[in-house]
Amino acid sequence: MKEKKVEGESIGIMGGTFDPIHLGHLLAAEEARERYGLEEVIFVPSGYPPHKEKGELSHQEHRYLMTIIATINNPIFKVSRVELEAESYTYTVDTVAYFRNLLGPDKKIYFITGADAILDITTWEGYDRLLDMCHFIAVTRPGFSLDHLEEKLKSLDYRLFSKILILSIPGMAISSTCIRRRVKKGKTIKYLTTSGVEHYILKNKLYSQV
């Protein structure tokens, strides 16, 4: 698989299952883009995340197409299939290494993820290598304790601490889990995700049996 070389000095990468992608993801990506002057934000739907059981996620093509639909109107947002085409478990370190090789040494890479995930960063596969390849943007969610996050970060070694940037976004308590549950119960998901993704979910009867 070949992907076009991305232009720009600073690139954001947002990984996730996107099952489904929702407005919280898009808002976090846009806030990160504006705050850190990112030329592009690349959404990377996960392939076989090691923390998920087989069959727990929707089919990868559904997740990929929903991500395409949600981002298609923003020319700054791109979607990559790099993890979807992997034949085994996919790790953040391998994904970032792929883009580091693709973009070259002069591009600055920011990996965008939730602040809750950052708390466990020292357990990530190859996190030492990650420090050499990118910075992290830890996006806070409503109700998340910044004091707890800052206390945790201070306990890390300076090299890791200096690579993590905290980004607070307006309160939007939306999650993919919430959307799946609402679909199962026959409740509306309007204004939780884009209208295109909403229509895709209903048309393909996703999550009704979750």
Per-residue pLDDT averaged across 60-77, rounded?
A: 97
Contacts 24+ apart (CB under 8 A), 145-149: 148/119, 149/115, 149/118, 149/119
pLDDT at 156 over 80: no
Q: Which CATH superfamily is domain 10-171 in?
A: HUPs (3.40.50.620)
Q: Terminal CA-to-CA distance of the chain, rounded, Å?
A: 33
Where residue 210 falls among pLDDT bands split at 50, 70, 90? Answer: low
Provide the whole-model pTM: 0.90
The predicted structure's pLDDT at residue 171 = 64
Percent of the chain at pLDDT above 70?
89
Q: Are strands 164-168 and 77-79 parallel, antiparallel or unpaired?
A: unpaired
Lowest mean pLDDT among 115-124, 126-135, 172-181: 115-124
The predicted structure's pLDDT at residue 87 = 84
pLDDT at 84 over 80: yes
Round to whole Å and give the CA distance between 29 and 27.
5
Dig out the tokens for 24 from the structure. Answer: 């919280």
Where residue 2 falls among pLDDT bands split at 50, 70, 90? Answer: very low
